Amino acid sequence: MGASQKDFESAVNQVKLLKKDPGNEVKLKLYALYKQATEGPCNTPKPGLFDLINKAKWDAWNALGDLPKETARQNYVDLVSGLRSSSDSSSQVKPEADKKQAGYETLVITSEDHITKIMLNRPAKKNALNTQMYQEIMLALEAASKDDSTITVFTGSGDYYSSGNDLTNFTDIPPGGVEEKAKNGAILLRDFVDCFIDFPKPLVAVVNGPAVGISVTVLGLFDLVYASDRATFHTPFSHLGQTPEGCSSYTFPKIMGLAKAVEMLIFGKKLTAGEAYAQGLVTEVFPDSTFEKEVWTRLKAYSKLPRNAMRISKQIIRNHEKEKLHAINAEESSILQERWLSDECVNAVMNFLSQKAKL
Ligand SMILES: CCCCC/C=C/CC(=O)SCCNC(=O)CCNC(=O)[C@H](O)C(C)(C)COP(=O)(O)OP(=O)(O)OC[C@H]1O[C@@H](n2cnc3c(N)ncnc32)[C@H](O)[C@@H]1OP(=O)(O)O
């Protein structure tokens, strides 16, 4: 016997109580099954190209064709039941409460041994940077610049360092339309990268796994980059109809030479940790089995060095290029503002959102 109307209504209520966000793909499935179960086959007009969210919803509903209402109702109930069991075994990192700084949802920030550690904490989304995470990182950098730590460290929770910009950032269109969205995105990007350019203390990346897009490009603004041998470095900008950011159009050719920078930034060549080390983007590579232990032992020793000497040395090394970097950041952000409105970019993002096409 199929699910009753009461089972269906109860499942609808349970969705609102899920502890873990099931992700866009599942949310689309739930939406489609709900519509099919309550209204039958999709017979509304197809939304326009730029109405990304409604178009994705419409596609999901329409894909169910003539599926009977009763089957859709049963499939909805089964899907929710599966989600409830996996939601109960959610595995986000929850470090000891006494060391953790409160007030951040997408980051876990701890301060210990004169080190402020900023951990990207959306492991279920491979630590993709959503708008909230960009904003929280800016706040965290501002706080770390003033706290009593000597060095600041970025790392990722789970198997990825970060999968780069969260592609669903492109779907939340404000009343001013896609132009306003692109303008706001360019302002956010510029402010975000400015925080890295201006950060006054030694900045360290502990790259625990694959890194993509903007999480790779800003590495050119870090002072040390330690990588697990599991890490990879990928900037697939052309594949996404986009162009370099994070000052990489300047820092990468400077770090690795024009030929290698072009291979990464234009042709999207993915580097292994060993290759990134050979090209000067990475300071040192460690075997994954001993990565955490070796890196943190090293960083704890560095963090005991005199605070002011380290800060002033960083200024001497970096300050003469700051103005140039700010200008490059402004230019890259403004070029991206236009790119985000291009068919090439819109199609690449829609392709990811609708089919979850992988890099
Ligand atoms: C203010 C705006 C500034 C903008 C600055 C511009 C920056 C440019 C860039 O950063 S370009 C890089 C953009 N990133 C990508 O294109 C990566 C897209 N993701 C993938 O290709 C794959 O997810 C993967 C290769 C990173 C990992 O594949 P895998 O099979 O191991 O895992 P899943 O695909 O199942 O991922 C698990 C869930 O995480 C979601 N997810 C992963 N990355 C992103 C992302 N970048 N944006 C949005 N969502 C992402 C993925 O969709 C899965 O979600 P689900 O569980 O709900 O299905």
pLDDT one-digit tens code per residue, 278-324: 999 999 999 999 999 999 999 999 999 999 999 999 999 999 999 99
Distance 164 CA to ligand 1 centre (A): 7
In angstroms, what is the span from residue 233 Cα to ligand 1's centroid? 14
Q: Which range has the worst mean pLDDT, 12-21, 172-181, 248-257?
A: 12-21
Residue 264, pLDDT above cutoff 50 = yes
Residue 214 CA: nearest ligand 1 atom is 10
Is residue 209 within 6 Å of ligand 1 at its C-beta? Answer: no
**d(Cα 123, Cα 157) in Å, to the nearest integer?**
6
Pick the atom of ligand 1 nearest to 358's CA.
21
Ligand 1 pocket test, pick from 126, 173, 196 with the greatest ligand atom count within 8 Å of Cβ, gives 126
CATH fold group of domain 5-86: Acyl-CoA Binding Protein (1.20.80)
Closest residue by CA, ligand 1 atom 22: 358
Which pLDDT does position 23 carry in this prediction? 76
For atom 38 of ligand 1, which residue has the closest CA? 125
Lowest-pLDDT range, 28-37, 151-160, 167-176, 247-256? 167-176
What is the best residue among 130, 163, 243, 270 to mutate for testing ligand 1's pocket, by most ligand atoms within 8 Å of CB? 163
- Looking at residue 149, its pLDDT comes to 96
pLDDT at 92: 53
Q: Model confidence over 49-70: pLDDT tens digits?
A: 777 788 888 988 999 999 999 9
Distance set, CA 288 to CA 30, 41, 127, 275, 284 (Å):
38, 50, 19, 16, 12
User: At 262, is the pLDDT very low, low, confident or very high (cuts 50, 70, 90)?
Assistant: very high
Which residues 6+ apart lie within 8 Å of 234 measured at CB? 210, 211, 212, 213, 216, 268, 270, 271, 359
Residue 202 to residue 148: CA distance in whole angstroms: 13
Q: What is the predicted pLDDT for the residue at 133?
A: 97
Instruction: Report residue 96 CA to chain centroid gap.
Output: 24
What is the per-residue pLDDT for 94? 47
| Residue nearest atom 9 in ligand 1 by C-alpha distance | 213
- How confident is residue 130, by pLDDT bands cut at 50, 70 and 90? very high
**Which pTM value belongs to this model?**
0.77
CATH number, domain 107-304+330-357: 3.90.226.10
- pLDDT score for 357: 60
State the distance from the centre of ligand 1 to the C-alpha of 333, rounded, in angstroms. 21
Sheet of 203-207: strand order equals 107-112, 115-120, 151-156, 203-207, 224-228, 284-286
205-243 residue pLDDT tens: 999 999 999 999 999 999 999 999 999 999 999 999 999
Of 85-89, 181-185, 284-288, least confident by mean pLDDT is 85-89
pLDDT at residue 346 in the model: 92
What average pLDDT does range 160-169 have in this prediction? Answer: 96
Residue with the bigger pLDDT between 96 and 269: it is 269
> Per-residue confidence at 8, pLDDT binned at 50, 70, 90?
confident
- Please tell me the predicted confidence (pLDDT) of residue 87: 62
The per-residue pLDDT for 95 is: 46
Query: Does residue 358 surpass a pLDDT of 80?
Result: no
Question: Predicted confidence band at 176 (pLDDT cuts at 50, 70, 90)?
Answer: confident
Query: Which ligand 1 atom minimizes the distance to the CA of 185?
Result: 1
Average the pLDDT over 340-358 and give the result.
85
Domain boundaries, the chain: 5-86, 107-304+330-357
> For the ranges 159-173, 279-293, 328-342, which has the lowest average pLDDT?
159-173
Domains 5-86 and 107-304+330-357 share a fold: no
